[in-house]
Amino acid sequence: MANNWEYDYADLYRQSPMASGLPTQSVTPPPAPEPKKHKGGVVKKLLGNLLMLVLCAAVGFGGGYLGGQTSLRNAPAPAPAATNTPAPPANSGSTGSANSGNGLAAAGSGSADFVNVSAKVSPSVVVVTTEQVTTNGYWGQYVESGAGSGVVLREDGTIITNHHVVNGASSIKVTLSTGEEYPATVLGGDSRSDIAVIKIDASGLTPATIGDSDSLSVGQNVLAVGNPMGVLGGTVTNGIISALDRQINVDGTMMTLIQTNAAISPGNSGGGLFNESGELVGIVNAKSNGENAEGLGFAIPINDAIAAANDLIDTGYVTGRPALGITVITILDAQTAAQYNVSVPGVYIQDVNEGGAADLAGLEPGDRFISVEDQLIETSSDLTNLLSTYQVGDTVTVQISRDRQLLTFDVTLGEMAG
């Protein structure tokens, strides 16, 4: 049978005549009185002993080599050479200082100490529960409950959340991380930014440290803190910034959002997205509802959210938004068309604000939009999203249909006041 040794030691065994099967020669020892023959016999005996030693050594060497080679093939990889670096404490866990060598690096270096960051930011995130009176043709009036999250902006009880969390609520309750509960009132809300500001009668709260969403990078570590499923307040999930400046259509409104793979669930809305330093960089507001989609969560950049929140606190509405000064309706089906006595689907002007941009330009109720700046208008969202790309004071060209005639107007955009 063939062997896998590097060298073949078979010839070592053939050094012994006994092993080779060759005939041996019998030698009669000379008589004791003859000194020369006695001397020769001693030499032969010594040579024989030496030969046996060589044979044993050869056999031992061959067996040892075979065993050594087999052990080498089966042995695990050698451990790294020991260094003088002291071992970490047994209870060090998965965190450590930036300079520990085996811990997580400091903020901004691609890793984060999630334990310390969680402890820092959790007191700033609250649970928001709502009740809303709903009327249904079958059930009549009933109270519908909802839940979301919020982030403390000021120690006086001013809290930022999503507009869709508190919109239409008849009562709002805030639960702090300590378990204390307070009733809340709405200071202002804005559907386009999906930002609302609520207030509780409390003091000494822990406001979040506001970060800079313009300085975020794809791949950066983040934590999402909120109230998933409406019953798990204070839940912390981690992930990374998956993408920036995502154009996402949320309930008909185009929004520019941060994408993250941190686990986001219903109830997280209004909660915080924090960076590695514990700074608030986003307000969580959406997740993918696709059955096969995982790790697709979105947040409003904090720079946009804070600007909207400050306007809501100061004026009750978000300032600087261009507006035509009209109310519109989108007609898509025959039933609605018959109700409004029109035959062509599209976006129609219902009301014109007196003294507003459309009124000054000559637009009238009943006009149907064809285009704005050569962009077709088929839904009210088309109109809203297009206008959001302009500034107050810009002049846009509007084409409408009136009494089966195409008319063109130049409209100088005013400011939306609410």
Express each pLDDT in 337-392 by its tens digit: 888 888 899 999 999 999 999 999 999 999 999 999 999 999 998 998 899 899 99
β-strand 297-301 against 279-287: which pairing, if any? antiparallel
> Is 241 a residue whose pLDDT tops 90?
yes
Residues 222 and 92: their CA atoms lie apart, in Å, by: 22
Report pLDDT for 281: 97
Q: Give the residue range(s) of CATH 2.40.10.120 domains in the chain.
A: 123-314
Task: Please state, for a pLDDT cut of 70, what percent of the chain lies above it.
Answer: 71
Q: Model's pTM, two decimal places?
A: 0.67
Q: Give 277: exposed, middle or buried? Use CB within 10 Å, 0-12, 13-18, 19+.
A: middle
Report pLDDT for 292: 65
Q: Nearest Cα to 159, choosing from 120, 189, 132?
A: 189
Report pLDDT for 21: 40
Annotated catalytic residue: which of 193, 265, 269, 382? 269
Report pLDDT for 163: 95
Q: Give the residue range(s) of CATH 2.30.42.10 domains in the chain.
A: 322-415
110-114, 151-155, 370-374: lowest mean pLDDT where?
Answer: 110-114
Rounded average pLDDT over 228-252: 87
Q: pLDDT digits over 313-351, tens only?
A: 999 999 999 999 999 999 998 888 888 888 899 999 999
Residues 368 and 18: their CA atoms lie apart, in Å, by: 116
Report pLDDT for 405: 94
Report pLDDT for 309: 97
Residues 275 and 240: their CA atoms lie apart, in Å, by: 9
> Is 102 a residue whose pLDDT tops 80?
no
Q: Is 164 a catalytic residue?
A: yes
CA atoms within 13 A of residue 248's CA, in its CB half-sphere = 23
260 close to 283: Cβ distance less than 8 angstroms: no
Rounded average pLDDT over 143-157: 92
Residues 193 and 160: their CA atoms lie apart, in Å, by: 12
Annotated catalytic residue: which of 164, 190, 193, 311? 164
Q: Is 269 a catalytic residue?
A: yes
- The domain 322-415: what is its CATH number? 2.30.42.10
Report pLDDT for 159: 97
> Is 37 a residue whose pLDDT tops 60?
no
Annotated catalytic residue: which of 113, 190, 194, 367? 194
- Class of domain 123-314 (CATH, top level): mainly beta
